[in-house]
Amino acid sequence: MQSFRGAARAASRTIRTQPWRQGNSLVKSAGPHRTLSAQWKSARPLHTVSPRKSAAVIAESNEKDSSNPAMSFPCLDAQEAKSAQLSARSLQSGPEPSYTTGRHESYHCEQPLLLDWGGVLTEFDVAYETWGQLNSDKSNAILLHTGLSASSHAHSTASNPKPGWWEKFIGPGLPLDTDKYHIICTNVLGGCYGTTGPSSLDPSDGKRYATRFPILTLEDMVRAQFRLLDGLGIKKLAASVGSSMGGMQSLAAGVLFPERVNKIVSISGCARSHPYSIAMRHTQRQVLMMDPNWARGFYYDGIPPHSGMKLAREIATVTYRSGPEWEMRFGRQRADPSKQPALCPDFLIETYLDHAGEKFCLEYDPNSLLYVSKAMDLFDLGHAHQTATLKRRAESEDRIAHGGDALNASDPACSLTLPDKPYEEQPGSSSKTPLDESVSAEPVDGPPRDLVAGLAPLKNHPVLVMGVASDILFPAWQQREIAETLRAGGNKNVEHVELGDDLSLFGHDTFLLDLKNIGGALGKFLR
Ligand SMILES: CC(=O)SCCNC(=O)CCNC(=O)[C@H](O)C(C)(C)COP(=O)(O)OP(=O)(O)OC[C@H]1O[C@@H](n2cnc3c(N)ncnc32)[C@H](O)[C@@H]1OP(=O)(O)O
């Protein structure tokens, strides 16, 4: 029997006829245009159209009646066809899909994990892969943190020869040098590539968590990773390395476990999420959740919200690259300038985004996208935020110790409602103010004091911070902020590298593409 993903891929292949590639019409031919006088002669009273009539019939009948031909919408037809195909498949085969990027190791932790916002995972799995030999005193391990949607498959392995997402960065003599280091990469908690996440089965009832999965933070993900390190007998990491969300986690690893990390590398990351990046992730989550197939997260037995995922990925792609890159790559070119402009993808930049969305929409679990991207929003290594989190954790622990649940669904704190009073601009609001807590006034110059205090545990760690000027999602000021904050806290071992527009126009995705500059600085720092 064909697998869900097999069927979906087949659907995707059929549907992705990709007019931009084939140069076929984006606007289906409307047939020879009749003259206006001919239309007057054949004019009939408007008739009602049965709701069951197909889009093609509607278009055809409108064409006869209207003064201009109706448009065709191949992009919408493709979505409908894909839903139909997925629906047929899921009815036959029951609950699916099973997301995977191939074989990996798995660590099962039976000790419960208390999460920062009060949720509990009574047990959990961490999927991981390794490259290079672990030395006898287990002192040469590097923990590699991933971006939002990546799996543990950073590099090919004997059991999974498919190239990994950092294939060119890992290997003998390469930036992550496997002659010297033992590299470990995990799929994050909340993900869908083997580590416990919303698509996993809740051990308490054997059903998928879906949106019964608790809200989690990047720090929760890091705690799960350190449980794996405990399981592997690794007491201290030679380095914690990560890009994007991984760059945030890399810092968090040092802050949470300063004694267990030697060097820290944070590439295109930040010390706390800023409003623009939260806004961009918000729009992605909203389009996904508004897809009726999302069904409040309980879609595993039905059609996955592939349209919402596709749109979310298109928005994400806008934030991952840069305008100047697209200027050079696509300019104002249309896929087929000989055709009428279309409302479906038409300019090359549109067909590019369409393709990026289509490629991703069944590759990653939609609920994982929601939870992991929310965890990114919640990230704040400021001192006040950390203090509030510690307090909340202590309260949860206390409640559990006294026999209560960590989280109670009837707790009003579990259902956010908008305040009655409309929001008013706060005079002191700025990206330097922590999101949840009020802190003392910030200095006019220099890094925020709250952040200096929050990053104090990294005072003695050698840290490499890298950023890219063309990155709009994690703008270069955020990496500058990390470096300046660490220096202001007394760290004399901070290296900061910023790639200007002359070196990279790939925006946020530079970390995936630029072996020479990103890889070069990384390799030098770890030498
Ligand atoms: C936020 C975080 O924490 S992490 C976020 C990190 N970023 C991501 O996750 C995005 C991941 N990016 C990718 O996967 C990219 O494909 C990369 C970085 C691996 C490679 O980038 P590039 O080599 O520049 O390729 P890019 O993806 O831009 O374009 C190539 C694809 O677009 C297609 N394409 C190019 N131009 C067009 C166009 N005008 N219309 C349609 N399709 C197009 C190509 O045919 C190719 O298709 P394929 O991948 O099916 O073979």
Collapse the DSSP code of 353 into the 3-class scheme (helix H, G, I; strand E, B; otherwise coil) and give the result: helix
CB-neighbour burial class of residue 372 (10 A; exposed 0-12, middle 13-18, buried 19+): buried
Nearest atom in ligand 1 to 317's CA: 10
Closest CA to ligand 1's atom 37: 352
Q: Hey, is 208 helix, strand or coil?
A: strand
Is 244 marked active-site?
Answer: yes
Structure tokens at 175: 């930036």
487: CA distance to ligand 1 center in Å?
36
User: For position 65, what pLDDT does the model report?
Assistant: 80
Q: What residues contact 494, with CB distance under 8 A and at least 6 apart?
A: 462, 463, 465, 483, 486, 487
Above 60 in pLDDT, residue 394?
yes
Q: Which of 355, 371, 374, 377 to probe ligand 1 with, by most ligand atoms within 8 A of CB?
A: 355
Element of type H or E holding 220: helix 218-232
What value does the mean pLDDT of the chain take?
86
Query: Do residues 304 and 86 touch, judged by C-beta distance below 8 A?
Result: yes
Q: Does any ligand 1 atom lie closer than 6 A to the CB of residue 293?
A: no
Report how far residue 467's alpha carbon sits from residue 266's, in angstroms, rounded to the nearest whole number: 9
Q: Is the distance from the beta carbon of residue 245 to the nearest atom of ligand 1 less than 6 Å?
A: yes
The CA 69 to ligand 1 mean position distance, Å, reads: 35
Confidence of residue 51 (pLDDT cuts 50, 70, 90): very low
Q: Which atom of ligand 1 is nearest to the CA of 349?
A: 39
Interval 193-228: pLDDT, tens: 999 999 999 999 999 999 999 999 999 999 999 999
374 ligand 1 Cβ < 6 A: no
Give the bridge partners for 125, in sequence order: 108
Q: Which of 352, 372, 474, 510 to mutate to test the pocket of ligand 1 (most atoms within 8 A of CB)?
A: 352
Per-residue confidence (pLDDT) for residue 469, from 0 to 100:
98
Cβ–Cβ < 8 Å for 495, 467: no
> Of the candidates 80, 83, 81, 76, which has an alpha carbon nearest to the alpha carbon of residue 345?
76
**Beta strands per DSSP E along 100-226:** 105-109, 113-114, 120-121, 124-131, 141-145, 170-171, 176-177, 182-186
Q: What is the pLDDT of residues 248-266, one digit of tens each?
A: 999 999 999 999 999 999 9
Rounded to 5°, the CA angle 276-279-285 comes to 150
Q: What is the pLDDT of residue 241?
A: 98
What number is the average pLDDT over the span 162-183?
Answer: 97
Q: What b-and-e string marks burial along 113-148, b requiring 16 or more CB atoms within 10 Å of the CB? A: bbbbbbbebeebbbbbbbbbebeeebebbbbbbbbb
- C-alpha of residue 156 to centroid of ligand 1, in Å: 20
Query: Residue 507 C-alpha to ligand 1 middle, in angstroms?
Result: 13
ipTM, interface predicted TM-score of the complex:
0.98
Report whether residue 268 contacts ligand 1, using a CB cutoff of 6 Å.
no
Q: Rounded distance, CA 365 to CA 98, Å?
A: 9
d(CA 407, CA 404) in angstroms, rounded, equals: 8
Concatenated DSSP letters for 123-144?
Answer: SEEEEEEEES---TTS--EEEE
pLDDT above 90 covers a percentage of the chain that reads 75
**pLDDT, tens digit, for every residue of 437-482?**
444 445 557 899 999 999 999 999 999 999 999 999 999 999 999 9
Give the residue-averaged pLDDT of 402-407. Answer: 77
- Of all protein residues, the one whose alpha carbon is nearest to atom 33 of ligand 1 is 352
Task: Please tell me the distance between residue 356's alpha carbon and the centre of ligand 1 in angstroms.
Answer: 6
330 CA: nearest ligand 1 atom:
39
Q: How far is CA 23 from each of CA 41, 341, 345, rounded to the nearest angstrom?
A: 37, 14, 13
Determine the pLDDT at residue 45.
34
Q: Which pLDDT band holds residue 411 (cuts at 50, 70, 90)?
A: confident
Q: CB of 280 closer than 6 A to ligand 1?
A: no
Give the pTM. Answer: 0.87
Residue 420: per-residue pLDDT: 83
Residue with CA closest to ligand 1 atom 19: 512
- Residue 59's pLDDT band, with cuts at 50, 70 and 90, is low
The pLDDT > 70 percentage for the chain reads: 81
Return the ligand 1 atom nearest residue 149 CA.
9
Tens-place pLDDT, residues 318-368: 999 999 999 999 999 999 999 999 999 999 999 999 999 999 999 999 999
For residue 359, which atom of ligand 1 is closest to its CA? 50
Q: Running DSSP on this structure, what letter comes out for residue 272?
A: B
pLDDT at position 405 over 80: no
How far does the centroid of ligand 1 lie from the alpha carbon of residue 280, in Å? Answer: 19
Instruction: Write down the catalytic residue from 12, 149, 151, 244.
Output: 244
Q: How far is the CA of 83 from the centre of ligand 1 (A)?
A: 24
